[in-house]
């Protein structure tokens, strides 16, 4: 299967390269850029495969993988777009040739119109520019989304309660402290009642937090500063010398989170009381649709919570909502998740379009959803992973203002 994929990519390269015939002769360097970038990507992929076989999945290799993935997207997404007008034009040429052959007229194969190639290049320039912007600026284009949620069963004493959610920091991917600090300062400026982090603090190792802990420690909230674990926090995607080393890494991450002021919820909950009323915030360990791990235990996390009490759930993977939470017999009014990143690639125009390829895997991939009188919010993530950029799906900080339906 991988061999077949490589053949398809090679055919794409050769076919898309035919567009170079439309490049003016005054720009001969464009052909050198085309083939040099292609050779660079494939040489890098071959080197990484050799490196991985020899040294295993090291930290340096995973960082290199991220940049190779980024370069591959930069080179091949525009090429894929180039093929669309070329395919359409070539299909028309085949139909025209067949029509002439049937009529018995001169049936020389029609030439491709030059402007079609120029159109293809113009179209390819759009994603090329967007990807360059996404790597250079987009991954740090932090935004605060303000969401007012009317929740019918929210106790009146909690009307106006403000929660800030952040998710998917992926600290090991950060390479610009100044820009990340700006995003974290936005969080601090919100001064929430509760700050909730919904998993994936690191890519693999607790040591990724070296040099960043002071910034995360400065984050605060009036009542609670809670966190849960995401699938990357367990260190499942990197090679360890022993199982003991892997266990120690997870213990180190848990301890670091606590030192930074996070109350890490490991299938447990906390209760907030106001004016004789209460709400509960439960947090489960990662629970995802296979192949992602299912360490979470919803029963344990909500143990002792009365069935009809208002409960908010922190669960990293949004598939947990569909597979378990929405049919759960306790009153989980709102679930906060992350995990998808919106694939860091898509198009969002509020009120018009909301699309990302990740929807093929996760129907609930970003924003607010409701089923069975229960709501799910999927945060687009603060950091980035694998692709070192964000195109159209910007890093997100979400501020929720809870409103009691009884006051509406």
**pLDDT tens-place string over residues 213-232:** 999 999 999 999 999 999 99
CA 273 to each of CA 161, 228, 235, 270, 310: distance values in angstroms, whole numbers, following the listed order: 12, 22, 36, 10, 12
Q: Is the pLDDT of residue 408 over 50?
A: no
Label residue 407 by pLDDT band (50, 70, 90): very low
Q: Which of 203, 362, 367 is nearest to 288 (CA)?
A: 362
Same domain, yes or no: 236 and 299: yes
297 has pLDDT over 70: yes
Contact 69/386 with Cβ under 8 angstroms?
yes
pLDDT of residue 406: 55
Q: What is the mean pLDDT of residues 231-257?
A: 95
Query: Same domain for 110 and 247?
Result: no
The total domain count for the chain is: 2
Q: What's phi and psi for 217, nearest 5 deg? A: -65, -35
Side-chain-facing half-sphere of 394: CA atoms under 13 Å: 16
Q: Mark which of 83, 105, 136 sits at the end of a domain.
A: 136
Rounded to whole angstroms, how far apart are CA atoms 327 and 37?
A: 50
pLDDT digits (tens, 9 = 90+) for 353-395: 999 999 999 999 999 999 999 999 999 999 999 999 999 999 9
The SS3 of residue 249 is: helix
- With 0.85 as the threshold, say if the pTM is over it: yes
Over residues 167-183, the mean pLDDT reads 96
Burial 130-144 (b: 16+ CB within 10 A, else e): bbebbbeebbbebee
Of the listed ranges 22-36, 57-71, 223-237, the one predicted with least confidence? 22-36
Share of the chain above pLDDT 90, in %: 65
Q: Beginning with the edge strand found earlier in the chain, give each strand of the sheet holding 311-314 in spatial order.
A: 268-274, 277-283, 311-314, 332-337, 374-378, 367-371
Task: Summarize pLDDT for 316-356 with one digit per residue, the tens.
Answer: 999 999 999 999 999 999 999 999 999 999 999 988 999 99
Q: Could you tell me if 301 and 317 lie in one domain?
A: yes
Residues 116, 265: one domain?
Answer: no
94 and 200 belong to one structural domain: no
Mean pLDDT score, 27-45: 80
Average pLDDT for the chain = 90
Whether the pLDDT of residue 265 is over 50: the answer is: yes
Torsion of CA 322, 320, 301, 153, to 10 degrees: -40
Model pLDDT, residue 119: 85
d(CA 47, CA 305): 54
Q: Which helix (H) or strand (E) holds 17?
A: helix 2-17
| End-to-end Cα distance, the chain | 57
Q: What is the pLDDT of residues 126-162, one digit of tens each?
A: 999 999 999 999 999 999 999 999 998 999 999 999 9
Residues 68 and 184 in one domain: no
Last residue of a domain, one of 121, 136, 151: 136
- Of 64, 41, 40, the C-alpha closest to 52 is 64
Give the count of alpha carbons within 13 A of 195, CB side only. Answer: 22
The answer to whether residues 398 and 148 touch, using CB atoms and an 8 Å cutoff, is no
Q: How many CB atoms lie within 10 A of CB 373?
A: 10
The pLDDT of residue 137: 95
- Both 276 and 346 in one domain: the answer is yes
Stretch 285-295: mean pLDDT = 94
Q: Are residues 170 and 249 in the same domain?
A: yes
How large is the average pLDDT for residues 65-71? 86
Length of the chain: 408
pLDDT at position 212 is 97
| Cross-strand pairs, 233 | none
Q: Are residues 209 and 118 in the same domain?
A: no
CA distance 14 to 271: 62
Q: Which domain holds residue 102?
A: 2-136
One domain, residues 163 and 128:
no
3-state helix, strand, coil in the chain (%, to 5): 45, 20, 35
- 65 and 123 together in one domain: yes
Q: Where residue 225 sits, what CATH number does that domain have?
A: 3.60.21.10
Q: For residue 52, what pLDDT is reported?
A: 66
Distance, in Å, from the CA atom of 375 to the CA atom of 326, rounded to the nearest integer, reads 8
Element (H, E) at 45: helix 29-55
Same domain, 182 and 248: yes
Of 119, 136, 153, the residue at which a domain comes to its end is: 136
């Amino acid at each position: 299967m991988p061999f077949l994929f490589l053949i398809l990519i090679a055919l794409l390269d050769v076919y898309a390269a035919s567009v170079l015939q439309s490049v003016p002769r005054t720009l001969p360097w464009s052909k050198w850029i085309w083939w040099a970038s292609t050779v660079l990507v494939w040489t890098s992929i071959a080197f990484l495969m050799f490196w991985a076989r020899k040294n295993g999945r090291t930290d340096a290799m995973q960082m290199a993988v991220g940049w190779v993935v980024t370069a591959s997207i930069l080179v091949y997404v525009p090429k894929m777009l180039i093929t669309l007008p070329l395919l359409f034009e070539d299909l028309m040429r085949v139909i025209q040739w067949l029509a002439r052959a049937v009529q018995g007229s001169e049936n020389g194969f029609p030439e491709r119109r030059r402007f079609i190639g120029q159109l293809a290049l113009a179209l390819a320039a759009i994603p090329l520019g967007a990807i360059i912007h996404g790597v250079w600026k987009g991954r740090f284009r932090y935004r605060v989304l303000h969401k007012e949620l009317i929740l019918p069963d929210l106790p009146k004493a909690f009307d106006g309660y403000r929660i800030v959610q952040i998710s998917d920091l992926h600290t090991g991917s950060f390479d610009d402290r100044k820009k990340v600090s700006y995003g974290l300062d936005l969080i601090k400026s919100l001064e929430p009642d509760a700050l909730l982090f919904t998993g994936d603090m690191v890519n693999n190792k607790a040591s990724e937090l070296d040099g960043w802990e002071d910034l995360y420690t400065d984050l605060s909230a009036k009542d609670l500063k809670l966190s849960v674990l995401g699938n990357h926090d367990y260190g499942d995607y990197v090679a360890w010398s022993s199982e003991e080393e892997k266990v120690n890494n997870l213990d180190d991450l848990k301890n670091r989170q606590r030192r930074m002021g996070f109350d890490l919820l490991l299938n447990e909950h906390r209760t907030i009381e106001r004016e004789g009323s209460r709400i509960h915030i439960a947090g489960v360990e990662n629970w995802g649709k296979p192949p992602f791990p299912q360490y979470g235990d919803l029963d344990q996390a909500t143990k002792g919570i009365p069935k009809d009490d208002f409960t908010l759930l922190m669960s990293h993977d949004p598939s947990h909502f569909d597979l378990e939470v929405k049919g759960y017999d306790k009153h989980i009014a709102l679930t906060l998740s992350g995990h998808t990143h919106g694939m860091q690639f898509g198009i969002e125009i509020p009120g018009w379009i909301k699309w990302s390829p990740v929807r093929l895997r996760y129907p609930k991939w970003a924003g607010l959803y409701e089923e069975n009188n229960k709501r799910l919010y999927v945060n687009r993530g603060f950091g980035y992973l694998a692709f070192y950029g964000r195109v159209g799906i910007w890093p997100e900080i979400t501020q929720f203002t809870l409103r009691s339906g009884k006051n509406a």
